[in-house]
């Protein structure tokens, strides 16, 4: 990507789960990684781990639902590194009250602000730099729920993830002429900390059969390392033992 050989990746939600795994996989491939998220201590732990393994990383504390802070974070990365070659939008949440019977507008607003608006804010923040480079890749982490509607994830989460899928494809339609490309990465169940917010938390045995964060980290690195003339528009990925197929959820 970068003619100098330096490749800079910005990973939101980089303090845990898929974002953390993606940051580690990218750093192992030689990327300079900037991780952002709301918990500074978690980000610092990821940076320490990456550096201990010979990688290059730094942290920016950030709530992606704050558009002005997102813009400042992107500007900070460009000031420090001169470029942004990759954005991984991995920041996302769900809430315990997620059915039509108990959902609250507060929960809906929070999910839309982080899972959808936050994705858009970050995409817009990197756009000027990527357009100027005539090169750049964005990976938006959506969900199986962005393709398949089921009861368990709830209406707010399902709706935001469907919207992220549409947002990704619309980006490619407009920005392919500028050498930019985006991938919507839609995993089914992944054994990450977000599972603790479910009304019924899956057992350890069930989680062991799910996708693991490292599986998604490797997938993110695969997309990121494709040559600039390749756009991986969408990846739908699930564990072989898919509970939505076998009646578990």
Give the CATH number of the domain where residue 41 resides. Answer: 3.40.50.720
- Out of 10, 121, 144, 157, pick the active-site residue: 157
Average of per-residue pLDDT across 173-187: 98
In a domain, 179, yes or no: yes
In the predicted structure, residue 175 carries a pLDDT above the cut 60: yes
Write the Ramachandran bin of 62: left for phi over 0, alpha for psi from -120 to 50, otherwise beta: beta
Residue 121 among the catalytic residues: no
Instruction: Give percent above pLDDT 90 in the chain.
Output: 90
In the predicted structure, residue 249 carries a pLDDT above the cut 80: no
Q: pLDDT grade, residue 174 (50/70/90)?
A: very high
CB atoms within 10 A of CB 150: 12
E strands, the chain, in order:
8-12, 32-37, 56-61, 86-89, 136-141, 180-187, 234-237
The predicted pLDDT at position 16 comes to 96
In the predicted structure, residue 194 carries a pLDDT above the cut 90: no
Report in angstroms the alpha-carbon separations of 138 from 1, 28, 80: 13, 19, 20
In the predicted structure, residue 248 carries a pLDDT above the cut 50: yes
80-105 b/e (C-beta count within 10 Å ≥ 16 → b) = ebebbbbbbbbbbbbbeebeeeebee
Contact indicator for 203, 152 with CB cutoff of 8 Å? no
Report in angstroms the alpha-carbon separations of 68 from 43, 65, 122, 125: 20, 9, 10, 9
Report in angstroms the alpha-carbon separations of 239 from 191, 202, 236: 11, 14, 11
The predicted pLDDT at position 235 comes to 98
In a domain, 60, yes or no: yes
Selection from 146, 190, 153 nearest residue 169 by Cα: 146
In a domain, 2, yes or no: no
Domain extent for 106: 8-246
In a domain, 3, yes or no: no
Question: What is the C-alpha to C-alpha distance for residues 84 and 57, in angstroms, rounded to an integer?
Answer: 14
In a domain, 1, yes or no: no
The predicted pLDDT at position 3 comes to 45
The predicted pLDDT at position 5 comes to 72
Average of per-residue pLDDT across 233-242: 97
178: which DSSP letter? Answer: G
pTM above 0.85, yes or no: yes
How many structural domains does the chain have? 1
């Amino acid at each position: 990507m970068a003619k100098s050989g330096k490749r800079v990746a910005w990973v939101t939600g980089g303090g845990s789960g898929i974002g953390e795994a993606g940051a580690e996989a990218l750093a192992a491939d030689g990327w300079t990684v900037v991780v952002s998220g709301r918990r500074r201590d978690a980000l610092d732990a990821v940076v320490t781990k990456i550096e201990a393994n010979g990688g290059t990383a730094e942290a920016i504390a950030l709530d992606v639902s704050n558009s002005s802070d997102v813009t400042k974070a992107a500007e900070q990365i460009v000031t420090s590194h001169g470029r942004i070659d990759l954005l991984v939008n991995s920041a996302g949440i769900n809430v315990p009250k997620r059915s039509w019977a108990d959902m609250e507008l507060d929960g809906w607003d929070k999910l839309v602000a982080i899972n959808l608006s936050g994705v858009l804010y970050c995409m817009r923040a990197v756009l000027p730099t990527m357009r100027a480079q005539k090169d750049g890749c964005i990976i938006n982490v959506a969900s199986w729920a962005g393709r398949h509607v089921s009861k368990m994830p709830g209406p707010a989460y399902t709706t935001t993830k469907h919207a992220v899928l549409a947002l990704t494809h619309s980006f490619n339609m407009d920005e392919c002429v500028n050498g930019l490309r985006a991938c919507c990465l839609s995993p089914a169940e992944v054994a990450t900390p977000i599972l603790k917010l479910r009304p019924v938390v899956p057992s350890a045995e069930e989680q062991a059969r799910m996708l693991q964060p490292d599986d998604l980290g490797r997938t993110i690195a695969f997309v990121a390392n494709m040559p600039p003339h390749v756009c991986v528009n969408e990846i739908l990925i699930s564990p072989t033992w898919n509970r939505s197929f076998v009646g578990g959820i």
